[in-house]
Amino acid sequence: MSTMSERLRGVVGQLALRPDDRVLEIGCGQGVAATMVCQLLDTGTLTAIDRSTKMVEAATRRNAVYVASGKAEFLIASLEDMSLGDRRFDLVFAVRVGLFHRDPDRAHSLLAPWLAPGARVCTFYDVPV
């Protein structure tokens, strides 16, 4: 397992996922953390966004079984321009997403419309090893 996978496993372990959580991942990259999240969800779902078409395509391929079952969806979007309709999320997480580091107040205000009551927001900048 690569060091990156080990780090992401540590991140996912800190999320305290519940099996029915509706999860939003900001900046999903190639979908490595998404796979780990989907493995822990039962009735819950994952929506993951990334600005890179190439990354979203890679994440969708990596998680094809979860996409096919409706457990996961991967969308090309940035936090600033995501349009998620009436979806609400119980848990939002981001790993190494610059906006949360540079301007956390703005990042959190951009998330506000998508948060369910009692939602948790977990951001990781320097990923724990």
Residue-wise pLDDT for 39-58, tens only, equals 999 999 999 999 999 999 99
Q: Looking up tokens 């993951």, which residue turns up?
A: 48
Residue 104 has pLDDT above 70, yes or no: yes
Q: What is the pLDDT of residue 3?
A: 78
Q: What is the pLDDT of residue 49?
A: 98
Q: How many residues would you count in the chain?
A: 129
Residue-averaged pLDDT of the chain: 93
Three-state SS for 73?
A: strand
The pLDDT tens digits for 57-81 are 999 999 999 999 999 999 999 999 9
Q: What is the pLDDT of residue 65?
A: 98
Q: Are 59 and 30 in contact (CB under 8 A)?
A: yes
Q: How many beta carbons lie within 10 A of that of residue 64, not counting itself?
A: 12
Superfamily in which the 3-124 domain is placed by CATH: Vaccinia Virus protein VP39 (3.40.50.150)
- Mean pLDDT over 100-123 rounds to 94
- Mean pLDDT over 10-38 rounds to 96
15: which DSSP letter? T
Nearest alpha carbon to residue 21 among 52, 44, 49: 44
Q: What is the pLDDT of residue 125?
A: 82
- Mean pLDDT over 25-45 rounds to 97
Tokens of 110: 């951009």
Q: Which residues pair with 60 in a beta bridge?
A: none
What burial letters (b/e) apply to 74-107, b meaning 16+ CB within 10 Å?
beebebeebeeeeeebbbbbbbebebbeeeeeeb
Q: Is the dihedral of CA 17, 27, 59, 86 positive or negative?
A: positive
The model's pTM = 0.93
